[in-house]
Structure 1
Amino acid sequence: MQMRRMTMKDRRWYRHAPQRARTTMERPLRIGIVLHDFALGGTERIAVRLAVAWVEAGARVTIFCGSMNGPLIGLLHHSVEVISAKPAIPRGPGSRRKLGKAAAAFWSRQPVDALFVPGNFHWETVPATAALPAEIRPAIIAQVSASLDKPQRGRLRQWGFGLRMRRLLQGADAIVALFDQARDAADRIAGGRRATTIALPALADDVTSPRPIPSNRTIMAAGRLVPEKGFADLIDAFALLDDHDARLVIVGDGPDRKVLIDRAAARGVSDRLILPGYVADIRPWLDDARLFVLSSHFEGYPAVMVEALAAGRPVIATRCTAAAAPLIEGSGSGAVVPIGDPAAMARAIAAQLKAPDPDPRMLADCVAHHRIGPVAEAYMALFEQASAARKIVI
């Protein structure tokens, strides 16, 4: 079965329709989510945020997880049902296939109308649920959270990735990408026209309006302190700046903390590097920054870029994701630079520090469609469409 793409007309109808008209069912929409655990990851955070929004919109939401470990479970609404596998399924070799089988067995006993599979990491759970008998099998909506085309894979590995994606997602009724380029790549790799674009729900509906850009020289970055985030490149770029009043703040924690401290010392900038560690909310740090830098070597859809723009801060980003250029072009400020090129990054940072400050409200407006409310509604409309289509086919 092929899903047609959700049009803007569909989304406008759904957003403005009366609550009673938002479902073709006599009962609330039943949504299932499969999660390995509640670790501090972008995929898990999105799933938890959407689960809460769907419950608040009147749906019944059940999360089936391998274990209830992880701090993000504390963000769930009390009305979200959480079922853990027994015995628990910790992350490890083959654990996602085990999780998929356990989840499918649960959905067979407690059916849902639609199953949300958040992110590439959870694709391996799809085949088991897709194999359920048609009368109890939910519509399966799989999300693409990470880049599908990665130059670092090489041609052979990319070919193998495409085969694996087609195999794992052949039972999905619809695929959701976070931006149009990823949608087109999903259609090309997975085959057919099953993908649609729904924005990343990176912002709360009541996100704070941006403050004026401060006159300081603070450059900010955020993320886990791991090699793929490119913070070593950022420190090298910072050391190349001919601006001794500038300071660099990298918010986050991880195994590379000492490596980065040593690198800053070797480059002579340790007195101007601030590593505050993990923070629950990066917005206060964004409010105090002049600009934000995304130095990653690869990303899926960088929620932190959306948060930075929503705070009214210009962004310098590497070409770590196809989403970087559209976001920055849409904001009309900032720049995209090559991956692993500290000199190019330094030039872009220096140019932005010297440029007139952009209007923070215009930067925030360009990412307003990432608010959780409209995104949650778009997903619910897709769930109902996919569920209704399955019933027609059956």
Structure 2
Amino acid sequence: MSQNSNKRIAIVIDSLAGGGAEKVMLTLAKGLLARGHQPHILVLQPAVEHEVPAEIPLHFCFDAHTRNLDSFWRLGTSVARLKQYLETLQQQVGRFDLFLSNLHQTNLLMTRTGVAPLYCVVHNSMDEELQRQRKLGPLAWLEMWRAQQALNGQQLIAVSEGVADELRHSRRIKPASVTTIYNPFSLAEIRQQAEAQTADLPAGDYIIHVGRFARQKRHDVLFAALKKMRHDIPLVLLCSNRRKALKAIRKMGLEQRVIVPGFQQNPFPWIKHAKLLVLSSDYEGFGNVLLEALALGTPAVSTRCPHGPSEILSGALSQWLVPRRDPAALAAAMDRALEQPPDVSSAEILDKVSLDTIVTRYLSLLARD
């Protein structure tokens, strides 16, 4: 099957609420469209925070009132409804040449519909996610375990070599195949968007953290590191769940030090003008914000967490990786980066993640089927 002729590709995902996987798939859709293909975005439920270009069809598989799609008692019904929806949609727009499934709920449903060719994109460390759910209780662990079991026997896309290695050596699932394809980045568009005027930018120097306010991101470690720094520089948090973030900031006594503008559709001016970007996560799939910082010439410091940061901050930049859950080491690295900012303009990873390169990698999947 030629990759050059026009292809119709379904990108299926839980929602388009603010998040890394959602942003990645939107970027991929734009890249496919630019190459003359027909990407369609299918979201399970109509939660949309990202801007979707009018040229890319957006489909809602279930209405907003349908809850618990993947619950034990409703899964069979949800799968049947989704299967019928996909069949009806293809009668209207034509058969899809490729299905790309993203995130746990979508994977759980899509792998049961029988559509093909289907690839599930794994955006995070499965081991770390399961370990995290265990701490939340047996039901949370069981739901995550069931979602991961859906990947057994499937064709998988890993967003980093670290995730791919974990999948290949997993004792819980046996994938049919594992292919590493880095997340796509439109570097020119990132740099262009970074030039936008943003009235709310802080007047002076600041460091920045971009990411959901979630346990995985370890804001507690970041706040503890902030208190240990020698430099009294403000921290800007671009995150969802602003109220929860502000509560944690008050608890740490950092109200005068941390600025919380909340989720930003265009975070790039904020990243570009920061003196430093920091990532304090326990685990990642890739670490998109690190790449975005490098693309904008902003130095970055990160935990050496599984997986992704060590593939982004490689070579000379590996000195800016620190152990997880170590506020003192994170504080020392941030102080050092502020005093001796590294030149990140020639980061090795930038050539490997350009949008055109990644679109070509995804289109190569068609040659296998």
TM-score, normalised relative to structure 1: 0.76
Q: Check conservation: 2:16, 2:22, Cα contact below 8 A.
A: yes
**Residue identity matched to 1:122:** T
Deviation at 1:152, TM superposition (A): 7.2
Structure 2 vs 1, CA of residues 243 and 59 (structure 1 numbering), >3 Å: closer, same or farther?
closer
Q: 2:68 aligns with which of 92, 95, 101?
A: 92
Corresponding residue for 2:200?
Answer: none
Match of 2:199 in 1: none
Q: Does 1:128 align with 2:112?
A: yes
Residues of 2 paired with 1:100 and 1:331: CA distance? 48
The aligned residue for residue 182 of structure 1 is 163
CA–CA separation in structure 1 for the residues paired with 2:17 and 2:8: 24
Cα separation, partners in 2 of 1:270 and 1:56, compared to 1, 3 Å? same
Match of 1:342 in 2: 327
Contact preservation (8 Å) 2:121, 2:157: yes
Change (3 A) 1:353 1:37: closer
User: 2:266 maps to which residue?
Assistant: 281
Name 1:75's counterpart in structure 2. Answer: 52
Deviation at 1:312, TM superposition (A): 1.8
Q: 1:90 to 1:161 in 2, by over 3 A?
A: closer
* Aligned 8 A contact 2:162 2:306 in 1: no
Give the distance between the partners of 2:190 and 2:143, measured in 1 at CA. Answer: 37
The answer (yes or no) to whether the contact 1:126–1:171 under 8 Å persists in 2 is no
CA distance in 1, matches of 2:69, 2:116: 27
Aligned to 1:386: 368
Matches of 2:33 and 2:308, distance apart in 1:
29
Q: Distance in 2 between matches of 1:75 and 1:155?
A: 32
Percent identical among aligned pairs is: 23
User: 1:318 is matched with which residue: 280, 286, 303?
Assistant: 303
Query: CA distance change for structure 1 residues 344 and 192 in 2, over 3 Å: closer, same or farther?
Result: same
2:168 alignment partner AA: D
Change (3 A) 1:331 1:90: farther
Matches within 5 A, 1:217-296: 218-244=206-232, 246-254=233-241, 255-264=243-252, 266=253, 269-296=254-281
Determine the C-alpha separation between the residues in 1 that align with 2:307 and 2:108: 24
CA shift, 1:240, in A, is 1.2
Q: Deviations over 1:35-59 (max 9, x none)?
A: 2322112222222222232223222
Superposed displacement of residue 112, structure 1? 1.7
Deviation at 1:288, TM superposition (A): 1.9
Give the structure-2-normalised TM-score. Answer: 0.80
**Alpha-carbon distance in structure 2 between the residues aligned to 1:160 and 1:53:** 37
Counterparts of 1:52 and 1:90, CA distance in 2: 29
- 5+ long unaligned stretches in structure 1: 1-19, 131-136, 388-394
Query: Is 1:105 the equivalent of 2:84?
Result: yes
* Superposition CA RMSD, Å: 3.3
* Kept in 2: contact 1:298–1:321 (CA 8 A): yes
Contact 1:251 1:278 in 2 (8 A): yes
* Deviation (angstroms), 1:99: 4.8
Q: For 1:119 and 1:77, how far apart are their aligned partners in 2?
A: 24
Moved more, 309-318 or 100-109: 100-109
Q: CA deviation at 1:206?
A: 4.0
What CA distance in whole angstroms lies between the structure 1 residues aligned with 2:144 and 2:176?
15
Q: 1:292 to 1:197 in 2, by over 3 A?
A: same
Gaps of 5+ in 2: 196-203
Shift of 1:119: 3.3
Structure 1 position 154, deviation (Å): 8.3
Distance 2:320 2:57 in 1: 43
| Deviation sequence 1:298-353 (CA, Å, 0-9, x none) | 32222111111212222221233321222222452552223332122112222222
1:374 paired with 2:357, answer yes
Distance 2:318 2:149 in 1: 41
Match of residue 198 from structure 2: none
Give the match's secondary structure for 2:27: helix
Distance 1:34 1:217 in 2: 40
- In structure 1, how many angstroms separate the alpha carbons of the residues matched to 2:146 and 2:62? 28
Distance 1:318 1:51 in 2: 30
Query: What residue number does 1:134 align with?
Result: none
Contact 1:236–1:342 (8 Å) recurs in 2: yes
**Contact 1:147/1:321 (8 A) holds in 2:** yes
Q: How does 1:15-94 map to 2 (within 5 A)?
A: 22-23=3-4, 28-72=6-50, 74-78=51-55, 80-85=56-61, 87=63, 90-92=66-68, 94=70
Residue pair 1:220, 1:249 contacting (<8 A) in 2 also? yes
After superposition, the Cα gap between the structure-2 partners of 1:362 and 1:62, relative to the gap in structure 1 and judged at 3 Å, is closer
Distance in 2 (CA, whole Å) between partners of 1:87 and 1:203 is: 32
Determine the C-alpha separation between the residues in 2 that align with 1:108 and 1:57. Answer: 26
SS, match of residue 301 in structure 1:
coil
1:153 alignment counterpart: 131
Counterpart-to-counterpart distance in 1, 2:99 and 2:354? 22
